[in-house]
């Protein structure tokens, strides 16, 4: 018995020691991990576009049951593209809205019937109706949140990409080569703006004029700063002015705009702090400050 306890304690100590020192033994150096990011990843084989799952097609068929005008479908398609989805996913989006509008109230009613029986009151039907409305509106709110987040990322990344384009142009690269080089930088590997630039460069390689592909990119992102960037490139190409100087000036103006927005957000914090101060902080201060005085006054008056 003593040997078994000793062996168990020994194995436990060994395992704890290995678990404690394993992260330090397996950790790579910071320099090595950074150098690996700059290695060019050569794909071993050509990867085809993966086939959409069956549930994706089912949701698309369900979404086609909603009869909307082409104008309404185009509006939703633009927002979905600006949020990072494909244009063809608009019917899947409608299918998600219908599915959630049916699943949420149905699940609530089944849950209610299991515990309360088959007695449906007005309150239960009202809650089911509210859940149906929430389920129908929830995908729109999620897409709008992703759309705003993507716009914010593009707005913050654009000055850095313009600086990199300026360096490439100063080094002697053409505008097309500079755009391609920008998308190959590991820093912008998963950046939405770099991905949109990559799509625009692929369209240019396919024979589409560069300005038209960049205008389509600006239309997809729905960011005003990207539209002004494309307009600046078009005017530079038309009038033959210095591209490097135009990129530098535009990047500086975007940085100034980003700084002004940060200052505006910082100035709004004082107003936003009023509500939590009034609701949570001031009552506690009043209790701490006036509480002892109230106790002393009550003792003096009601002796």
Residue 240 is assigned to a structural domain of this protein: yes
**Position 142 in a domain:** yes
Task: Give residue-wise pLDDT tens across range 158-170.
Answer: 888 888 888 888 8
| End residue of a domain, out of 147, 172, 202 | 147
Q: Are residues 160 and 245 in the same domain?
A: yes
Given a contact cutoff of 8 angstroms between Cβ atoms, the answer to whether 73 and 94 are in contact is: no
Give pLDDT tens digits for 65-104.
777 778 888 888 889 888 888 888 888 888 888 888 888 8
State the pTM of this model: 0.70
The pLDDT of 237-262, averaged and rounded, is 85
Provide, for the chain, the percentages of residues in helix, strand and coil under a 3-state DSSP scheme, each rounded to the nearest 5: 80, 0, 20
For residue 8, being part of any structural domain is answered with no
Largest CA distance in the chain: 96
Q: Is the dihedral of CA 102, 105, 110, 111 positive or negative?
A: positive
CATH number of the domain to which 208 belongs: 1.20.81
Mean pLDDT of the chain: 81
Query: Is the predicted pLDDT of residue 175 greater than 50, yes or no?
Result: yes
| Residue 303 domain flag | no
45 in a structural domain: no
Q: What residue ranges in 192-293 does DSSP mark as E strands?
A: none
Angstrom distance (rounded) from CA 90 to CA 64: 9
């Amino acid at each position: 018995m003593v040997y078994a306890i000793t062996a168990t304690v020994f194995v436990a100590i060994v395992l704890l020691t290995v678990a404690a020192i394993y992260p330090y033994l397996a950790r790579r150096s910071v320099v090595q991990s950074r150098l690996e990011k700059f290695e060019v990843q050569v794909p071993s084989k050509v990867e085809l576009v993966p086939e959409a799952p069956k549930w994706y097609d089912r949701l698309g068929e369900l979404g086609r049951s909603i009869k909307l005008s082409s104008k309404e479908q185009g509006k939703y398609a633009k927002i979905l593209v600006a949020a990072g989805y494909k244009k063809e996913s608009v019917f899947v989006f409608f299918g998600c809205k219908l599915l959630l509008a049916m699943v949420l109230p149905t699940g609530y009613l089944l849950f209610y019937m299991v515990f309360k029986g088959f007695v449906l009151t007005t309150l239960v039907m009202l809650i089911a109706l509210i859940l149906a409305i929430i389920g129908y509106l929830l995908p729109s709110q999620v897409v709008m949140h992703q759309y705003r987040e993507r716009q914010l990322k593009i707005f913050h990344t654009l000055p850095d990409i313009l600086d990199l384009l300026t360096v490439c142009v100063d080094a002697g690269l053409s505008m097309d080569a500079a755009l391609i080089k920008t998308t190959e930088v590991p820093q912008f590997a998963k950046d939405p703006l770099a991905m949109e630039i990559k799509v625009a460069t692929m369209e240019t390689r396919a024979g589409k004029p560069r300005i038209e592909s960049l205008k389509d990119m600006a239309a997809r992102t729905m960011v005003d700063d990207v539209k002004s960037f494309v307009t600046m490139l078009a005017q530079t190409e038309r009038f033959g002015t210095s591209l490097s100087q135009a990129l530098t000036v535009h990047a500086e103006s975007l940085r100034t705009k980003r700084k002004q927005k940060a200052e505006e957000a910082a100035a709004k914090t004082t107003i936003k702090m009023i509500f939590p101060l009034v609701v949570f902080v001031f009552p506690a201060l009043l209790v701490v400050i006036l509480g002892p005085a109230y106790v002393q006054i009550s003792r003096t008056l009601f002796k």
